[in-house]
Structure 1
Amino acid sequence: MRSSVCIALVVLVLPVVQTFVPVGNETTHVTITQNAVMKKIYEVCEAVAESEDREFKPSGSSAEELLCACLGTNTGQVSGAKFHEALNQIYIQNGIVDRDYASSNPHHFNSEAFTEGHSLISQGVAAVKANIREDNLQAARETLGRVLHTLQDFYSHSNWVELGYKITYANLIKPDLTIDNVAEVDTPTCSDCASGTCSNPLLPSILKEKKLTSGYMGLNSPNKPNGKCSHGGGADLTSTQVPRGGINKDERLSHNAALHDTAVALAIDATVDLLEDVRGAVGNKEYLRMMGIARTAVLCFVIDTTVGMSDGIAEAKRVAHSIIDSKKGTLDEPSEYILVPFNDPSFGPLIRTTNPDVMKSEISKLTAEGGGDEPEMCLSGLQLALTGAPASSHIYVFTDASAKDKHLESTIIALIRSTKSTVSVFMTEKTRPARVLHMQGRSGFQVYYNLALASGGQAIEVTKANLPSATDIILDTSTAALVTVLQRARIPGHVENFPFLLDASLSNVTAYLTGNNLRFTLHNPSGVSQPHTVSNGPLATIQTVGNLQRLHFNLNETGLWSISMESTEAYTIKVTGQSATTFIYDFVEEFSGPHSGFALIEGRPQKGLPAKLLLTMTGQKGAEALELQEVALVEVSDASVVNGTIEEMGDGNFLVTVNQVPEGEFVVMMKGKDMTTSSYFQRQTTTQMSLSKVIIKAVVGSAMVPGKEFEVPFTVSTDGLGGVFTISAKNDKDFPLKYNPQLTVNTGGNASGTVKVTPPASTASGTDVTLTILAEGPRAEDSNYAVLRLSVVAEVTDFSSPKCEIVGVSPICPSDCIQSTWDLSVNITDGNGTGIERIYIQKGSGNLFYQSVEDGGITVVMGYYNASCCSPDVIVTAVDKEGNVGRCTYTVQRSGGVSPSLSLPLWACLLVSALSIMHDALPL
């Protein structure tokens, strides 16, 4: 029964896999990865549910319903946006290997580069495991995507399938093993195929001796060693040289259909195997977090700890404790808590935890010291938060002073755009009224208004006495399934009506208006109105704090609402609510080559070209219950709205092309229909974006090593004004950087530069560094940026896995499992490795007990597992300090079967009363 449910899920979530390269709207490296990823997520969710003694039964076949079942609830507002966002980070990096490493043989196992390709996989998997251990999950996902591309290419580009193998090549994901029996460089491997469509051109001697080879690929030269197979295809220049043709199985064609189908199946199986290795090293729950299975709310504070902010610190403590206590155990419970203090001249460290009690303790430790009314290191602290928090986070800044580090403003805006995070700033002044504070805000505090506007957050001017009222916005926005229905800014303000749709899925609808002397009227679809002068009216409760007006809607009548503004001073409007119906997007560009496709644009899209977006819709019942009707780019400070053309790509994914992009800052708006409620919805992003004639591109090829200089090459091009460009590079870990701050770029041309990064020798393996490279044109007329995540991974010398041996099983379980238990005993050793770091139950709902003993100079961990006969399966996993994994797997037999008659050791019985380790991993 379990298998049939899982298969149904995978088939419905994924398009049919036909090729390894793009055909129409399908890129099968991505769909192969999706297939394997979803299969493994289902399996791990099932194991976690079993360990928690709860049912795992998705209510439907969509990824969103899988998410709900995995989190343990099939009710309430659970957004799939961050789940899709996390998975897309894997998929995008998988596909981009064909652009960034098109000519790299190891990345594709071309030209018999087996040893080098194997090394790439080993190094990449080590980086993924180290990143997860350091809680750098986005870096882990991006590296994982690239590694999986290389692994999958082995089965399409080598002759593994032609040799008759029907199982995966296990050595590929085992760093301690080698790639065996590779054809020597002077050994011919293929016969000539004039038509280029021979079903199997490999020489009989290669097939008989089972010699491993792969096709040679020449993008710039037709040369290849004599007698060697070519990759094949129009882009491969070697395929016209004898022996002609090729052996790639990237596309399903008439002459290679069976070989291609086998290659696809093995690529999926190999991907599952690699994912299982990662899952074993990090544990079930951390694996699911890496895959985006987590509640959507994240609580992130950036707090000024100077003496002048003592009241603000006290309020931040109160708010944080209140939120943590009120949301614990609910759907709104944050999945992660982040705290970054800043002062002068210090800032940080970033404190991150999934444990609410740990965060309460850390916030309680904050004390006010030093500083005063002088500028503080606010933007440095905010930079840490933006790079440390998950994408699309809400970040709350508390300060009473201007920023000393204003030079970071461009870097912060680049990070905001890259992460799509929202920044709200609570600006306080001890005794001065809001009017005076407002006058100061447009000078010393201007940078905070800029950042709030760019991110779609709030810049809230409030006295410290009224700060408790203003922080209601944190309670509103640190919640699950938060969506934005409308956001606009008018500088200066003018009379205007702002319509917006409220649909049946929305709850807790709230509007925020910031500005001075605000005058407005709220209208519902039935014609009922409420002016700003009525604080408790038929439509909303209006709360005024400083420059903020908070409208909490009393009812959610569906249809077209509006806010009519009458003010002439600057103002912003934002309408939010809770709903699982939302979307995620990325600006992309097409790339050509042997395997063309779409690549993520890291900076601002290019001016003068159509803008392209990859958009994913998500809802409570999956994308199939939603109908996308309109996608537009909306200028935030103007009434300009430009619709795009929509091309459906399947599974809730769409390619949107906008030919005439707004000139100013814009956001993305989506409209559609919910088929389950027959109501129309409207959603929009909050992060502002604009176009640039400056393009900056950088590629990271590998991980950094502690203590060693690492080079990041980049290229700057422009269709605008040429001349001397100013280059600026920043990183969130303050690692030493070397680069030329000036680069000459001619109009219509490009120029290359290098940023050299040196992580200190003491840097922990798995540390992730966010590097932002900014390029500003002559006279500061235009600029752009690239944001890169670099991993620091120490050189790995231990590749041997721990050994797990079953030494006792008793007894056989009866048919009636409810009143019976069974036992298992194991011995675990690590030989000459780095030592066992932890042992845990990967599958099973029983109890594990263990102790370490010395036996002939070797440390042996003796473990004892006890479980109900209703939980017959167990996987005991041991992980060493390098992330190598060893397992014992067992399924107890029922009455009438034959079971090993191994006796349970006496120490196990004594150990039960002394030690208790339940379900998840604990260190030795």
Structure 2
Amino acid sequence: MTARHTVMLLGAVVLSLPSLAHSFQPLFSLDGNTITHCHITERAVFQKTAEVCRDLAASKGKDFSLVIDNNLSASKVQRACSSIGTSTSVLSTVTFQTSIAQMYFSNAKVDIDFLLSDKHHFDDETFQGGRDLITAGVSYVKASVKLGNFAAGRWTLGRVFHTLQDFYSHSNWVELGNTEPYSTLIRPDQLFENLAGPNTPTCTSCTGGHCSNNLLPALQQQRLLTTGYFSLISSAKPAGKCSHGGKFDRTSRQEPVGGINKDDVSADHGSLHHKAADVAVNATMELLDDIREAVGDKNFLQLMGLSQSSVLCFVIDTTGSMSDDIAEAKRVSFDIIDRKRGTPQEPSAYILVPFNDPGSGPLTRTTNADIFKDRINKLSANGGGDIREMCLSGLQLALTAAPPSSEIFVFTDAPAKDAHLKSTITALIESTRSVVNFMLTNVISSRRRRSDIQGLSPHSMSQSDVKLYHDLARASGGQAIEVTKSDLSLVTSVIEDSSASAVVTVFQVVMNPGKPDSFKFTVDGSLRNMTAYITGASSLNFNLTSSTGVSQSSSESDGPLASFTTAGNLRRLCLNTDNRTGSWKISINSNKPYSVKVIGQSSVNYIYYLVEANKGAHGYFFLKEGHPLSGGNSSIMVSVGSDTVEVTEVTLFDSSGPTEINGSLQALGGGNFLVHFSSVPAGEYVVRLRGEDNSSTSKSTTTSFQRQASTQIKTSSISVTAQANITNIEPGSTISIPFTVATMTNGVVNDNATGTFTMQANNDRSYASTSPSTVTVAAGSGGKANDTITLTVPANAVSGTDVTLTIEAENAAATDINYAVLRFSVAVKVADVNRPGCQVVSASASCPLSSSLCASSQWEFIANLTDGINGTGIERITIRRGNGTLNTSTAVGAGGENVTVATYSASCCSQTVKLAVVDRVGNVGTCVGQARALTTAALVTTVNTTSTGGHTLSISYCLYISVVVSLLWE
């Protein structure tokens, strides 16, 4: 057996064992008393985000009344931060919640991907290895944010959080009496001090089942730092060393027995669990503050996902017949930009992907509306060659570039040349929960043949061509709108609808084949601006009935319940729901395929994720990628976006059945619920949620509501798992990704199964990769097949790029498919770890002793800022504290280094300044000056100090009468 197969086999054994995670519990605790990685991450993100909003409010002279403590929630922070700008009538926390979920799911995944890695958990006294992971990861995050790759930054940040947080559970930092973070862990330019040496005993055996006093007194006396040893396989450890502890740690059975971890309240040092979690929260906030200083407040809030608006994302065919479509895309996007610029509804980002034949791109992703306008304005329709274009390649770029749960609009009049990417696109849709809408022009009616139509555009599509787009739209919860080029402007109002804030889906169904049917949906009091879309044949008729019994038929374009327009296969109904809350009904009379979708604006919404149980006493759960397994049990984690919502029912709905499977609800606190579904049969489902909204001040106006997820969940009898040993890749390197394919029966591996699967591996960057075309599950293999995929990053890849790899397996009959999605960050290893230095040149003031006279006087502070002769150079200087004016100029220092001269002047009413100095790789130095009134004579002082860059500076300067400048290094 090869070494690779040994590792894969060991990994399979590890993942099959229950409750093996040796860290703070990953996502949630069922005992209600244990603090998890998820809780620590949420607390830190809520508090740091609130602090940034508080500081922004202060800079604008606005009040910020939110109390920043451990009791914050997504909705509380969202409301408080939204009050800084122009408030909107409808607020939603979905984007914020989704972004936080990315971080805590990535955090939890470390216990799957790197379970036995000592440095990922600070086991075995691997201080340097753990810090290297943290500081390298932070560099990757900063590089990702610099390119606007916020989602990639969040995935990396979650992994960094896990390692940092584990330190406080796995070390004796808290036992030493420390209540503040160990800042050296996030500062590679600082040396570790007081580490227990490799031959230094650290523990004695626990006695009587109690481990509270097993750390040797010498550690406390000498302030020595240690962490526990852990091994699943061997009991060996250095003599006298502490173990991690727990039933799966074999080293804890070797003298000295027991452990020191504080992972939960029942752990060996569980009495300190809450203290360790509190310090881990503060350490996570300290790391977030470093990132904030490096990227700036606006980018930091984008990284945290604090936005009231969606992105504007277009994928546009640029071949010769598309000039009218491009002109309409320009018109509608410019209109949205011009109307919403400077308001809370302004799109949070702009994404543009052109495509034609033979390629797609380049991708434009920006937060600057003018850049987007310029790029879309430069699009022109030309060329095209044959009929088919690279539509799905362009869509693939958009799906991986856009934030999760985005709405994407594809404009084309041509079939897809890259239809082989259909399963990849479907996997990305399910993974990102994004909605894809197709604007399809010049589609041939099913009653007409291409040869029957004179003057038809060569790019016109038949119904068989269009089916691909309809299938993808259905999978995502979007629409495939078929319209003539002349009527395209009549349907692009759908884009404007989706660009509103807090858009929710109330109800959606696709009937294929079609049949006459009636559908009910609930209108609740929180809903505003409700719109219904009905797509189908021109012969389709409908009837709408409100909760009050009023009806309107499709023959009335402007009636008591709705006004509607028709263009192509789309009917857009603007609903009048005033004073008509309750159950509505829409009846469709058609035997041809059709769809119905009802949306509105509301603060009541939810997010959900498929999670997988690692069964055991503690109930660990992890994010599940890919399809759930047919016939097996499935679990979903649901988070609601409001403090006033009570969830009463979560179901899986299959409209083709129709089948509705009720889940059992388990409240986890904080608006989170775990939903269990038993034995889910094969099918395609969407998640529906029902509940009560108690937002009204009057209890008598509590209303029932329903919400529906857009993305379909399709079950599978194939399992695809993949595990990379690294998640951050350097340009010019190649990584290997082992994967396993298995045949499943009722949710478990069928040990006797055999068969061959077709494999496909695609990445959104078109990086070189190798993968087998098939894998075979042979007799006697236990129902599984293993193999490897490689991915090579080109040497010229830009630091901060992200790459998404999709691995798919399809059965021999081509009737079943499943997938795994892996995300990697690409960045150059940072050699410059020193923070910029600061040398005070002068500080002068003539500040009066009386504060009532401060406004009439000014003080000035001048400093030379440098990143050293070997640094990457200063990129940005900002005022973090102070209400003065900053001016900069450049010079060359005595050693040939570039120097930035910072001159700060302020009123004597503002006598403190803090400058944040950021170099090109995100190292942050801070320099603080303070003026104080004195009555002594002028002083001339020589100060020897060490800058944040580690350089010793000898500084001579004058402090004038009535002022002292203190230089603080942070």
**Shared fold per TM-score greater than 0.5:** yes
Output the CA distance in 1 between the equivalents of 2:839 and 2:217. Answer: 42
Per-residue deviation at 1:822? 5.4
8 Å Cα contact 1:308/1:372 also seen in 2: no
Output the CA distance in 2 between the equivalents of 1:339 and 1:766. Answer: 19
Aligned to 1:69: 80
Q: 1:818 to 1:390 in 2, by over 3 A?
A: farther
Per-residue deviation at 1:834? 1.4
Output the CA distance in 2 between the equivalents of 1:902 and 1:610. Answer: 76
The question of 1:612 aligning with 2:635 is answered yes
Match of 1:49 among 42, 57, 64: 57
Match of 2:131 among 111, 114, 118: 118
The question of 1:513 aligning with 2:529 is answered no
Match of 1:158 among 158, 171, 177: 171
The question of 1:338 aligning with 2:351 is answered yes
Aligned to 1:318: 331
Aligned to 2:944: none
Q: 1:390 to 1:846 in 2, by over 3 A?
A: farther
Per-residue deviation at 1:57? 3.6
Spell out, residue by residue over 1:518-549, the C-alpha distance to the aligned partner (whole angstroms, 9 max, x if none): 11100011111000011011110111101111
Output the CA distance in 1 between the equivalents of 2:328 and 2:393. Answer: 22
Per-residue deviation at 1:902? 9.5
Q: 1:811 to 1:825 in 2, by over 3 A?
A: farther
AA matched with 1:469: L
8 Å Cα contact 1:79/1:480 also seen in 2: yes
Match of 1:483 among 501, 504, 507: 504
Spell out, residue by residue over 1:716-770, the C-alpha distance to the aligned partner (whole angstroms, 9 max, x if none): 2221553121111101110000122221225853222222111111111111001
Query: Mean Cα displacement is larger for which, 704-713 or 506-515?
Result: 704-713
Aligned to 1:690: 714
Output the CA distance in 1 between the equivalents of 2:754 and 2:906. Answer: 72
Alignment map for 1:669-708 (pairs within 5 Å): 669-677=688-696, 678-700=702-724, 701-708=726-733
Output the CA distance in 2 between the equivalents of 1:636 and 1:33. Answer: 38
Alignment map for 1:592-671 (pairs within 5 Å): 592=615, 597-619=620-642, 623=643, 625-671=644-690
Query: Mean Cα displacement is larger for which, 245-254 or 522-531?
Result: 245-254
Query: Mean Cα displacement is larger for which, 507-516 or 837-846?
Result: 837-846
Aligned to 1:859: 898
The question of 1:878 aligning with 2:913 is answered no
Q: 1:253 to 1:489 in 2, by over 3 A?
A: closer
AA matched with 1:691: T
Aligned to 1:453: 474
The question of 1:826 aligning with 2:853 is answered no
Per-residue deviation at 1:192? 2.2
- State the percentage of identical aligned residues: 47
Q: SS at the partner of 2:625?
A: coil
Q: SS at the partner of 1:443?
A: helix
AA matched with 2:722: A
Aligned to 2:740: 715
Q: SS at the partner of 2:285?
A: helix
The question of 1:574 aligning with 2:609 is answered no
Q: 1:867 to 1:382 in 2, by over 3 A?
A: farther
Query: Mean Cα displacement is larger for which, 194-203 or 877-886?
Result: 194-203
The question of 1:528 aligning with 2:536 is answered no
Match of 2:31 among 21, 24, 34: 24
Return 5+ residue gaps in structure 1 as ranges: 1-17, 906-924
Q: SS at the partner of 1:796?
A: coil
Output the CA distance in 2 between the equivalents of 1:286 and 1:407. Answer: 37
Aligned to 2:877: 839
Per-residue deviation at 1:167? 3.3
Match of 1:760 among 794, 800, 814: 794
8 Å Cα contact 2:737/2:788 also seen in 1: yes
Aligned to 2:803: 769
Q: 1:647 to 1:769 in 2, by over 3 A?
A: same
Spell out, residue by residue over 1:775-834, the C-alpha distance to the aligned partner (whole angstroms, 9 max, x if none): 112222321111111111112111100013454263548645777765443321111311
The question of 1:850 aligning with 2:874 is answered no
Spell out, residue by residue over 1:495-520, the C-alpha distance to the aligned partner (whole angstroms, 9 max, x if none): 21101011111111000000102111
Q: SS at the partner of 1:127?
A: helix
Q: SS at the partner of 1:795?
A: coil
Output the CA distance in 2 between the equivalents of 1:696 and 1:758. Answer: 22
Per-residue deviation at 1:860? 2.1
Spell out, residue by residue over 1:649-680, the C-alpha distance to the aligned partner (whole angstroms, 9 max, x if none): 01111001111435321111111111123121
Alignment map for 1:169-318 (pairs within 5 Å): 169-252=182-265, 256=269, 259-318=272-331
Q: SS at the partner of 1:780?
A: coil
Per-residue deviation at 1:363? 1.0
AA matched with 2:835: S
Aligned to 1:4: none
Aligned to 1:922: none
8 Å Cα contact 2:473/2:479 also seen in 1: yes
Per-residue deviation at 1:54? 3.5
Output the CA distance in 1 between the equivalents of 2:104 and 2:515. Answer: 44
Q: 1:862 to 1:749 in 2, by over 3 A?
A: same
8 Å Cα contact 1:299/1:395 also seen in 2: yes
Return 5+ residue gaps in structure 2 as ranges: 1-22, 451-459, 697-701, 746-752, 942-954, 956-970
Spell out, residue by residue over 1:55-83, the C-alpha distance to the aligned partner (whole angstroms, 9 max, x if none): 33459964224223324244421211010
Output the CA distance in 2 between the equivalents of 1:899 and 1:579. Answer: 65
Q: SS at the partner of 2:464?
A: coil
Aligned to 1:563: 586
Aligned to 1:363: 376
Q: 1:670 to 1:168 in 2, by over 3 A?
A: same
Output the CA distance in 1 between the equivalents of 2:289 and 2:575. Answer: 47
Output the CA distance in 1 between the equivalents of 2:205 and 2:73. Answer: 48
Q: SS at the partner of 1:808?
A: strand
Output the CA distance in 2 between the equivalents of 1:528 and 1:437. Answer: 43
8 Å Cα contact 2:30/2:668 also seen in 1: no
Q: 1:274 to 1:434 in 2, by over 3 A?
A: same
Per-residue deviation at 1:304? 0.6
Q: 1:91 to 1:818 in 2, by over 3 A?
A: farther
Aligned to 1:732: 764
Q: 1:702 to 1:640 in 2, by over 3 A?
A: closer
Query: Mean Cα displacement is larger for which, 505-514 or 97-106?
Result: 97-106
Query: Mean Cα displacement is larger for which, 51-60 or 748-757?
Result: 51-60
Output the CA distance in 2 between the equivalents of 1:530 and 1:826. Answer: 73
8 Å Cα contact 1:115/1:178 also seen in 2: no
Q: SS at the partner of 1:357?
A: helix
Q: 1:457 to 1:801 in 2, by over 3 A?
A: same
8 Å Cα contact 2:430/2:711 also seen in 1: yes
* TM-score (norm: length of structure 2): 0.86
Query: Mean Cα displacement is larger for which, 129-138 or 27-36?
Result: 27-36
AA matched with 1:628: V
8 Å Cα contact 1:812/1:899 also seen in 2: no
8 Å Cα contact 1:487/1:636 also seen in 2: no
Output the CA distance in 2 between the equivalents of 1:436 and 1:67. Answer: 53
Q: 1:573 to 1:593 in 2, by over 3 A?
A: same
Match of 2:573 among 551, 556, 575: 551
Output the CA distance in 2 between the equivalents of 1:425 and 1:257. Answer: 55
Q: SS at the partner of 2:813?
A: helix
Aligned to 2:951: none
Per-residue deviation at 1:594? 10
Aligned to 1:782: 816
- The Cα RMSD (Å) is 2.7
